[in-house]
Copies of this chain bind each other. A is one copy, B any other.
Amino acid sequence: MTGRLREGPPRPVRHSAVLGISARTDYAVRAMLALADARAASAEHLTSELLARRQSLPHKFLESVLLELRVAGLVTSRRGPRGGYVLARPAAEISLGDVFRAVDGPLAEVRGLRPQDTAYEGVAEHLPAVWVAVRSSLSEVLDGTSLQDLLDGDLPPHVASLVDSSERAGG
């Protein structure tokens, strides 16, 4: 009874994805790239408003992201007229890992714990090693790529080869 035929394709669509890059993180990286690009041209401060327009980001939301980037010491800010934001260091000295950690906390967590702090009984005994490896592989990409690399489109060799291997595998 209750004839539960589902007609349309309602699509449960469970998307959590182990590795989920949020809008917040995405925006942070793009804002940092815009700042890196601007820094190459002049020493001017960029306002959050302008930054938002250049990358089509929601202005007020971006403001809160910039706040976190400042607290993390990746950008410096100035209030008032001619105020705005500047990169705190050269773009070659800021990695994607720095940006990620500023807005997302630690790169990897297992149920709220750092990978190396996990512990299991019995048959799952060797699991922590995998968690650590996963974090480490992430770090090799994110900590190995700087904002400057991204501006130049010139990724480190091991990162570029990961892109290639993915293309060969077909996605």
Instruction: Compute how far the CA of A13 lies from the CA of B122 in the bound complex, rounded to whole angstroms.
Output: 31
A142 in contact with B138 given A107-B18, A127-B29 (CB within 8 Å): no
Residue of B nearest to A125 (CB): B153
Each complex incorporates copies of this chain amounting to 2
* A109-B20 in contact (CB<8A): yes
Q: Are the C-beta atoms of B141 and A155 separated by less than 8 Å?
A: no
List the B side residues contacting A21 at CB < 8 Å: 18, 108-111, 131
With a cutoff of 8 Å between Cβ atoms, the chain B residues found around residue A33 in the complex are: 123-124, 127
9 additional contacts, CB 8 Å, given A17-B108, A29-B127, A116-B166? A17-B107, A18-B100, A23-B111, A33-B127, A96-B130, A114-B171, A116-B171, A138-B138, A140-B165
